[in-house]
Amino acid sequence: MTHEIAVIPGDGIGQEVTPAAVEVLEALDVDFSFTEAEAGDAVKEATGEALPDETYELAATADATLFGAAGKTAADVILPLREAVGSFVNIRPAKAYPGIDAVRPETDLVFLRENTEGVYSGHEDRLTEDVATLTRVTTQSASEQLAEFACEYAGPESDHDGFTIAHKANVMRETDGLFRDTVAEVAADNGVDTDEVLIDAFATKVCLDPTQFDVIVCPNLAGDVLSDLAAGLVGGLGLLPSANIGPDRGLFEPVHGTAPDIAGEGVANPAATIISAAMLLEYLEYDEEAAAVHAAVEETLADGPRTPDLGGEASTTDVTAAVIERL
């Protein structure tokens, strides 16, 4: 069976790390058909549209999508692409790899981020020169859908022991109150253990001792910010993959953005995108191949060439070749 994979590199280093991950997928014995499409700042400049209709359609119909990075047009690109695949959760694992000089080598976390609403609802207005507003949206239905996923991901049948609900319901009483209460109720109904933490307290606690946490379920913006914070504990954004999961399809992307400071230099770390490709393989139930890619990345990080973000001098292509060699 051939799997149709949409490949959308986006901007900046997305143009470098996405082909690297495709190369790794091509090295496996899996029948993929890759179709590349444009999105982002460059296509907006050329055509006036950051996300051409054909790119949206491709993501909405492919079996899975591999995305690179969004820059200035992120709101017009990555949010609609997540919608195209019907994604309601963004899974963001943040773990320290052996051999990497991490601030907190004991870190092993998974963020389950609400992926459709919150302050990324898109309801922003510039009312006057002085005043801009944003409507934060929380729905019981989206919170329930996330919670049901979290119960499967971290429930009794899994390797996890329940999850932590991160929120700020003491201040955002209605929106985060609804989020917290809904997620806690679904977990209780499913017999899944939960505890809760305020988002600001979480930021301190996770830096001091990340082993206090395992799976963290959180609203959209909190998941975006806190997973980047966790990247700082494990060696940087070059190491964090993600999976946007919907009922019938998924979109897989590194957590990092376009990195304009190094874009075009050929030294971007491809690890986050290659691990995202491993998550794509898991999603399509190629568990053996996924495990092989995870292992090859781990070995490369431990003793192979390293890009400058990890203290090395290797290029994106050197690291990609090293991963493929270890498959």
> Which residue intervals of the chain are DSSP H helices?
14-26, 41-47, 53-61, 74-84, 140-154, 175-189, 199-208, 220-234, 271-283, 287-303, 316-325
44 is catalytic: no
- Are the C-beta atoms of 295 and 281 separated by less than 8 Å? no
CB 160 within 8 A of CB 153: yes
CA angle, 162 then 236 then 43, to 5°? 100
Q: Which residue is catalytic, options 41, 95, 168, 176? A: 168
CB closer to ligand GGG, 94 vs 187:
94
Inter-residue contact 88 to 145 (CB < 8 Å)? yes
The correct pick among 41, 148, 224, 318 for binding ligand GGG (CB under 6 A) is: 224
Tell me if residue 159 is catalytic.
no
The region of 18-26, 131-139, 172-180, 248-256 touching ligand GGG under the rule CB under 6 A is 248-256
Nearer Cβ to ligand GGG (45/189)? 45
Query: For tokens 């049948």, what's the residue?
Result: 157
Residue list 59-118, contact with ligand GGG (CB under 6 A)? 69-70, 74, 78
Q: Which is nearer to ligand GGG, 167 or 256 (CB)?
A: 256
Pick the catalytic residue from 189, 195, 200, 209: 200
Of the pair 114, 289, the CB lying nearest ligand GGG is at: 114
Q: Which amino acid is at 281?
A: L
Nearer to ligand GGG, 135 or 211 (CB): 135
Catalytic (active site) residue 286? no
**Annotated catalytic residue, options 56, 120, 283, 286:** 120
Single-letter code of the amino acid located at 185 = E
- In the complex with ligand GGG, which residue's Cβ is closer, 76 or 299? 76
**Residue 51 and residue 77 in contact, taking contact as beta carbons nearer than 8 Å:** yes
Strand, helix or coil for residue 183: helix
Q: Is 168 a catalytic residue?
A: yes
253 interacts with ligand GGG by CB under 6 A: yes
Count the site residues for ligand GGG by CB under 6 A. Answer: 9
Q: What is the DSSP string of 13-70?
A: THHHHHHHHHHHHHTSS--EEEEE---SHHHHHHHS-SS-HHHHHHHHHSSEEEEEE-
| 93: helix, strand or coil | strand
Using the rule CB under 6 A, is 146 a contact of ligand GGG?
no
Q: Does 28 bind ligand GGG (CB under 6 A)?
A: no
Residue 280 binding ligand GGG, by CB under 6 A = no
User: In terms of DSSP bridges, do strands 64-69 and 215-218 run parallel, antiparallel, or are they unpaired?
Assistant: unpaired
101 is catalytic: no
Does 257 contact ligand GGG by CB under 6 A? yes
Question: Which residues make up the interface to ligand GGG (CB under 6 A)?
Answer: 69-70, 74, 78, 224, 253-254, 256-257
Active site residues: 120, 168, 200, 224, 228
